[in-house]
A and B are shown apart, each in its own frame.
Chain A
Amino acid sequence: MKRNPITIAVGALLLTIFFLLLFLFQVRTTELAVVATFGRVTAHAGPGAHFRWPWPIQSVHKFDQRIHTFEGKLEQVLTSDANNLLIMVYVGWQINDPAVFLTRFNGSTNRAQDSLEGLIRNAYSGVVGKHPLTHFISTDEKQLKFVEIEQEMQARIQADCRALTNGLNIAFLGIKRLGLPESVTKLVFERMESEREVRVSEVKGDGERQASEIRSRADFASAKLLAEAEAEATKTQGEGEKIAAKSFEVFRQEPELAKLLLDLKALEQLLQERATLILHDDMAPLNILKSKEPAGPQK
C-alpha cells in the first residue's frame, strides 16, 4: 500500500505537537505553577518550560503571581464620635502560597476576592469605629490620621489572612472614597447653603459699609476744602479792605466834599431803581421856573 509522504509528515507533526502538549508545560514569568500528582500537590514550578506526566497522572495549576487590585464595596460605618461615614478601600493582594491558594479557593481569584470582601468589611467595623471623624477629615494636619487608619486596616486584614492561612498577602491598602449617607448629605448641602448665605450677607454689608465710608470721607474732604477756601477768601477780602482803607485817608483833607460825594453816590444808587422824586419848586434848577416878580395879568 502506497503511503502519501505529506500525510505521514502531517501526521508526525501533529503527533509531535500532541506529545509536547502532553508532557511539557510553560510557566510565564508572571505566574506560579503547582503540579499535582494524583490530586496531591507534589511540586511548585517557576517561570520556564517544565516536564510533566500527562493527565490524569499529573495536573498543572497556574496562578498569576503579580499583585492584584481589588476594590471593596462602599459601606456605611460609624465613627467613634457617632458620625455616619461611607468608606471604600482598594486592596493590593498577592498569592504567596499557591498550594494553599489552590486548596482554599480552588485556584479561583474571584473566590479569593469574595473572601477578601468579608475581611475588608470586618476591618471597616473594627478600625473605623475607633476613630473620630476628625481623624478622617480635618484642615488640621495634626488631627488627621488618614494614613494610620489605612495601615491599621491593612494590618487587620493581613492578620486575618494569616489566621485563615488562605495563602494571600496584602501588599497595600488605600482609602479610595469617603462619603456621607444620603440623609446626611442633604444636611451638609443645607449647611453649605446657609454658610453661603452668611457669606453673601457679609460681603454685601462689607460693600455697603465701604461705599458709605468712601462717600462720607469725600463729603468731609469737600466741606473742609470749601471751609478753608471761604476762610482764605475772607482773609483776602479783608486784606483788600485794609489796603483800600488807606486810600480813604485822603477824605480827611476835605470832609465836606467827601460827605457830598458820598451822598451823591448814594443818590446815584437810589435813582437807579424805580423812584419818585418829589421836588420843591424852589429847588435848583426848578426854581428858575419861578419869576422874581409876582405874575400880573397877561397882556
Chain B
Amino acid sequence: MNVEKNLQRNAGVNLGLSLVVTATTYAVAYSTHSFAGQVAGIFLWLGFLVGLVSWFHMRLEERERLESLELDELARSRGSGTLFTAGEGDSRQARGARELFERYFVPGFTLVLLLMQAVAGWWCLRWLSRVKEPPALAQPLVAMAILGLFALVLYLIGQFSSRLARLEQSRLLQPSASYVLLGAHVLALAVAGLALVLAGFSQVDYFLAQVFCGLLWLLALENLFSLMFEFYRPRVKGRPIRILYDSRLVGLISHPESVFTTVAHTLDYQFGFKVSETWFYQFLKRSMAWLTLSYLAILTASTCLVYVQPGEEALLERFGKPAPGREVLGPGFHAKLPWPIDQAYRYRTQEIQTFDVGFEHDEKDEHEAAVLWTVSHYKEELNLLVASRETAEIPAAPGSPGRKAPPVSLLSVGLPVQYQIHDLKAWAYNYSNAGELLKELATREVVRYLVGVDVNDIMSVGRFAAAEELQKRIQARADELKLGVRILFVGLQDVHPPVRVGAAYEKFVGAKQKREADILKAQAYAIRTNSLAIAAATTRRLRAAAESARRVTTAAATESLFTNQMAAYRASPDVYSERARLQTLSRYGQNARKIVRPATNAQETLQLNLEEKLREGVMAVPLPPLSPGK
C-alpha cells in the first residue's frame, strides 16, 4: 500500500517538476538566444506529457488493485466465492477501465506522441535552416547556471525514480523516469554547448539544436516501429505487456551504461526467446571494447592516406600552413600525418567548369526544340543596357507625361563561360569564394562591354569579335585579381532583343528579305527584257539583211530577165506585147470574174460566171475606147 503510494507520489513529483522545468527552461533559452536550449524544452515538454499519462495509468492500476482487495474481502465475508465468481466479470469496473485504457488510449497516445515528435523535429529544423547566422548569446553564464542546476536536479530525481521503478518492478514509473533523465542529459548538453560557444566555437549551440531535432525524429521513428511491431509480437499468456510509450531509445540514452541490457531485452521481447543467450551476442558483448578501439585505430590510420582522384589536385596543410614542399598533391595515393595535424583539401582542377552570365537555366525548357526571340526560353533573362547610335526619342507615353526614353537600347545576352583552375593555391587561398567572384567579374565585363558598343553592331557583324574581346577582358581581369583560372571559352550564344520587341526585329529581318526579293525580281525582269530586246534587234537586223539581199538578187534576176525579154521584144514588139498581155490574162485571170460587154451595145452583156449575180450599175460603167490593134 505504502509502496504504491510512494510510486504515485514520485510520479506526481516528476510531473510537477517537469512542468516547472519545462516552462523555465524555455523562457531562459529564449532570452539567452540558445537554440539547443529551446529545442531541449521540447524534450522536457514531451517528458511532461509522458509523465502525465504514466501518472494517470498508475491511478487506474491503483483503483484496480483496491477494487480487487474489496471484492476479495467481500467474498471472504460472505463465505461463498462461487456465487460471487459468477458475477465477477460485471462487477470489476476498475479492471475494465484499465484494460480499455491500455487497449485504446495507450496506442492512441503513442501515435500522438510520435506525431508531435516528428512535427516538432521538422518544424525546428525548418526554423533553424532560416537562421542566417546564430545571434550572440545574452547572459550565457546565467543561462548556464540555471540550466545546469535543472540538469542536476532532473538527473538526481530521474536516477531516484529509475532505481525505485527497478526495485519495485514498476513498469509505469519507468517511462516517466527515463524521460526525466533524458531531459537532464539534453540540458547538460545544451549547457556544454553554451560553454563551447563562449570558448569560441560559435556554431556548437546551433549544431547541437540540429542534433536534437534529429533525435526527435529518431524517437518518432522508434515509436512508429513499436506500434507496427506490436501487431506482430507473439502474445505469451501471463507475460506482462510492455507499455507502448515507454521508449527503449529514451531508456538507452538515459542509461547509456545499460546499452547491452536494453538491446537484449528488446530482442528477447520481440522474438519471444532469449536471443541474448546466443554465442554471437555474448561474443559481441565481450569484445565490444576491443572492436571499438580497433575501429578508432583504423579510423585514425585512414586519415594518414589521401587519395586524389584523376582530374583533381589537393592542398596539403600541416597545422594549417601549406606543407613545405608538398603544398599541392597531384592524382594518386599520398601519405600524410594523421588528422588533425595534416589536412588535405581536394579540388577538381582539370575539370572544365561552366557558368552562365545573363540568364538562368530553366530545367523545364531544356527540351525546347526551338529558341525564338519572341518566346522567353530561360527561367530568367536579364535585359542589359546597350549603347545605341540611333538617339531619336519617342514622345512621352500616355500616363507618364514628360518622360522620355533615354537613348539606350536593351538586349538579352546569354553568355556561357568555361574555365579551368590552373593555379590551385591562388584559387583557394586568395578568395573566400573564387567561383562566385569569377562570375561577378565576368558579368561586370559583359556590362562594361555592352555599354560601349552599338546594339546593331553586336547583333550582327560584331558578334564573334565581341566573344573574343570578352574572353580577353575576363582573362585579363582574372589575372589582375590573381584568381588562378584560365578562361577557355566565352560564347555569345544568345544575343537578341528583349522578348517584348522581338516581333519588331523579326519584321525588320522580314523587310530585308522582301527588299532582296524585290531586287531579285527586278533583276529577273531586266535579264528577260534585255534578252528579248537582243533577240528582237537581231531579228530586225537579219530581216533587213534578208530583204536587202532579196531585193538585190531579185533586181539582178530582173535585169537578166529584162535583157532576155528585150531581145524578144525587139524582134517583134507588138507580138511580144500582145503575147505578154494574153499570157498574164490567162495565167492570172483564171480566178477573176469576167464580164464581156460589147463595145456598141452594153445591153448585150455576156456574163461568163453565173454563180454570182452582177451588181446593178456594173453595166453602166463606161469603158474606155479601145485603142487600135487591141
Residues of A within 8 A of B (CB): 4, 6-7, 9-10, 13, 26-31, 47-49, 54-56, 59-62, 64, 66-69, 71, 83, 90, 92, 106-108, 110-111, 133, 136-139, 141, 144, 146-147, 172, 174-180, 183-201, 203-204, 206-208, 210-215, 217-219, 221-223, 225-226, 228-230, 232-237, 239-241, 243-248, 250-251, 253-254, 256-258, 260-261, 264, 267-268, 271-272, 274-286
Contact = CB atoms under 8 A, between A and B. Distances in A.
Interface of B: 132-133, 136, 195, 198-200, 202, 289-290, 292-293, 296, 317, 319-322, 340, 382-390, 392-394, 396-397, 400, 403-406, 408-410, 428-433, 436-437, 440-441, 443-444, 447-448, 451-454, 481, 497-498, 500-501, 504-505, 507-508, 510-512, 514-519, 521-523, 525-527, 529-530, 532-534, 536-538, 540-541, 543-545, 547-552, 554-556, 558-559, 562-563, 565-566, 569-570, 573, 576-578, 580-582, 584-585, 587-589, 591-599, 606, 618, 621, 623, 626, 630
10 contacts: A92-B437, A189-B410, A200-B508, A207-B516, A236-B545, A240-B549, A257-B577, A276-B594, A277-B595, A278-B621
Contacts of B569: 254, 256-257
Given A69-B440, A190-B394, A215-B529, 18 more contacts: A26-B320, A55-B198, A191-B392, A193-B504, A203-B511, A211-B521, A213-B522, A214-B519, A214-B526, A219-B529, A223-B533, A236-B545, A244-B551, A244-B555, A247-B558, A257-B573, A257-B576, A264-B580
Contacts, number: 392
A223 B289 CA distance: 115
B540 A230 contact: yes
B469 to A, nearest CB: 13
A67 to B, nearest CB: 5
A196 B501 contact: yes
A47 B321 contact: yes
A232 B544 contact: yes
Of A210, A246, A247, chain B has the most CB atoms within 10 Å of the CB of A247
B429 A239 contact: no
B630 A283 contact: yes
Residue picked from A31, A49, A235, A244, most chain B C-beta under 10 Å = A244
Contacts of B578: 284
A241 B448 contact: no
A293 B124 CA distance: 160
A136 B387 CA distance: 9
B584 A264 contact: yes
A106 B554 contact: no
Contact of B597 (A54, A218, A235, A281): A281
Chain A CB within 10 Å, residue with most, of B405, B552, B558, B598: B405
Given A139-B389, A206-B515, A210-B519, A271 B592 contact: yes
A62 B199 CA distance: 12
A215 B526 contact: yes
Given A64-B432, A187-B405, A189-B498, A241 B512 contact: no
B596 A221 contact: no
A8 to B, nearest CB: 11
Contacts of B526: 214-215, 217-218, 221
